[in-house]
Each structure stands twice: as C-alpha cells, then as structure tokens.
Structure 1
Amino acid sequence: MEKKKIVILTGAGISAESGIATFRDANGLWEGHDVMEVASPEGWRKNPDLVLEFYNQRRKNALDAKPNPGHFALAQLEQKYEVTIITQNVDNLHERAGSTKVIHLHGSLFQSRSTIDENLVYDINGWELNAGHTCEKGSQLRPNIVWFGELVPLMESSIKETQEADIFMVVGTSLVVYPAAGLVHYVSKQVPVYVIDPHLPEITKQPNLHLIPEKAGVALPDLVTKLLLAA
C-alpha cells in the first residue's frame, strides 16, 4: 500500500525552541543588526566582512544547538508516511533529528556559494567562512542564503510538493514572509491542515483546519503519535 504524503512548512519558532535566535519578534533586528545590513545584497556589497562574521556566529550558534522534541517527532513520521519538510530555517536541526527529505527554501548556513556563478555551491566544514575563501573560478564565497530581494529558487519544487500533500502542517511560522507563506494556498481543499504555533497566524478558515496554539516541542509529539496510529 502506498504511503500517504505529509508536507510540513516549518519556520523560526521550531528553531527558537532549540535556542536559535530569530528576528521575528525583534523589530527587524537580528542579534542587534538591522536585517538589511546582514541579509541583503546591498548589505553584502557595503560590508562583506560584517556579513561573513555575522553568519559565522550564526553557524557557531547552530552547531551548539540541539534538535528539540518537535524536530524528533517530525522525523518519526517517516516510519509510516512519505514526508517532505519545507523549512524557512537555515540551520540543519531537521537533518540532525533524522529527517531525510528537507527543502531549505531560504538556503543553508552550512553551504557557501560563488559570487560569480550561483551554481557553484560548497559545503562548509566547521563554522567559518572568511574573506579570501574563494570558488574554483577565484571569486569570493558568500553564504548560500536567500537574502531579502533575491529570488527563492526552490519555490517551484516546494509548490509541487505542497500540491501532492495528503496532510499539510504549518509549524512555528507567522506566515508573513512571502513567497513561503503563500504555500498554504496550494493545498488541496480536502486535505487536513494542522497549524501549530503559540501565536497562531491568520489563516483562512476551512473545513479541515486544525489550529493548535502551542509550541512545536509540546504539540508535535502528541500529534505525531496520533498520526502514526492512524496510518
């Protein structure tokens, strides 16, 4: 029998429970920096050293962080379901918890890419990416992060995954950052949608909508147990 498909959109909230800082509730500041200084092409052109150091610290922080019960619960779903996680987070906590199919919509802290050929992408070992680290064509490497004002290259494949979902979840995201927030509009009408966040985002009411106003680490272990029993 073919496994049902669960697609999960995750955001900053699930990582925050592991101690990874977000700028969602900090008036546009991220670790004291205006996000446009450290997460935009303009910021990169103006001060690449600041941007490199900022992401070095984020990488160090992410390596120190550990997956929480929410991450581990989502990984357990793979026992009985086909699971795709579409994450807005740039850390690797889903993978470290055991999830095997993760689409990083906004890029990955643990990858760098060429500044002259975006197809040249490299894994980062450890936490440092510094000035003088270059691609095979000799250009400076930058974090492989989708910055404000840049296209989201994995959006198309994420829409396709969402359209194929038998169950859809939204976990730890405010649903205000587009285009990721628009994924919910591609879910088939008959598909159950579970929204999990202590501060529930605004979402159009529909027959199969289940709103759970709790943290991921609290709500997901229970929900996943129920879904595994129902599979």
Structure 2
Amino acid sequence: MTKYNVETYYIRIPQKGIERHHLMKIREFLDLEELIMLNKYIGKRKAQFAYSRYLAKYQLSKLMNIPLSNVKFIKTETGKLFLSPECIGNKKMFQFSISHSGNICVCSISETSEVGVDIENIVKYSRLEIMYKVFNNSEQQQVNNQHNQYEKLREFYRIWTKKEAAFKAINDGISSIYFNDINVPLQLEESYKTDWLFESKVIENNFMISITVKNTGENAIGGIYKLDINQIL
C-alpha cells in the first residue's frame, strides 16, 4: 500500500442488475456459504452482494499478491467479515470493510488497524425524523442548523455514514455494540482529538461516503479510487 494505511475503492454496477457474464465469473470465487447467500437474493440485492464481495476479494488479492481464488472470508456471529487464516499465511493481516448503496459498491482496506466504511445515497425524499431516534442532541442540532433542505440531508447522511462506519470498525465480531451509543466528531478538527479518524466525501454527485480508522497520529486515510467493473472482471 501507499504511505496511507487505508485506501478505498468503489465500482458502479449496472443499473439493470448483475450482468450474466459477470455473475458466471464471480460465482467462481465464492465459497459455498456465499453461493447460498447469493441464491437467496434477487434483483438489486443480488447484484450488490455479488459485486461487493468480488470487489473486496479482487483488491485484497492484489495487495496480498495472491491468486484471487485464494482469498477467503470468515464471518463472525455478528456478521463481521475477516480474511480466513488459511489465505493469510505469513502475510500481513489486512482488515477491510464493505458497503453498498444503489448501484455503488465500496471497499476500504487497512493493513494496520480496524477500518469501517459506509455509503448512502443522498435522496431528497428521506425522512429526517429518524434522526431523533438515533442521533444525540448535538448531532440533531448540527443537521437542523443547515440553511436549506438539501444541506440538511447532506449533513444528516454525513453523520449517519460516520456512525455506520464507526459501528463497523469498532465491532470486534463478538461483543454487542449499539448504533445509538456511537458518538462521532461533527467538525473536522474534532476528529484529530479522538481515538478514530474520520473522512466523509460526496462521490458520483449524490452518494455520501464515510471512512474511519484508528487514530495513530499519522495521516492514515488515503484516497478513494473508482475502478471500472468491466476491467476487473
């Protein structure tokens, strides 16, 4: 990897769903449990699951310099994914996080610490009332202080994706963590004073993405790179 210990990659998948020739190839790199899960999904959910798993395995295979077919995942009872010990060997223990929304799949990978990523489509018909159930008073005020509806929606999704990313990173796969109890920095300068670094950005015009990683005192969050699905499949 580069001097940063987290890099993020995303792909835009076909609006109509998974391409047949893509599905045939992706199936070659899924284990039995993943194939069973794949067969349970239809339409958009099927495409999101297939492409996000493939994206993660493809990029990990490049970083670890191993065949794509050797990249295997294990899943804890809480649903967190890790690299299987059998494919790590004496290589670094990369950690990763995946997310998808609409026709965008994203994967963040770290070679040094826990990482979390979340992406959400900023949709104008969103019900902001949900924030009163899951945001603390400061977070609610941050949203309500924005000048117009779009800015409120954008800020809502910035905070929401930060909380989701933190939830994924902090989750050790064993203990129970509650979304409502996760507080995230609201201003850029605040994030450098916490145990976790955060970065949020709008990509593809209307998708908010947030990434979080352990704060080691270094510039830990690197770039966000778009990959062409037809070039990696």
- Compute the TM-score of the two structures, normalised by the length of structure 2: 0.27
Relative to the length of structure 1, the TM-score reads 0.28
- Structure richer in helix, relative to its length: 2
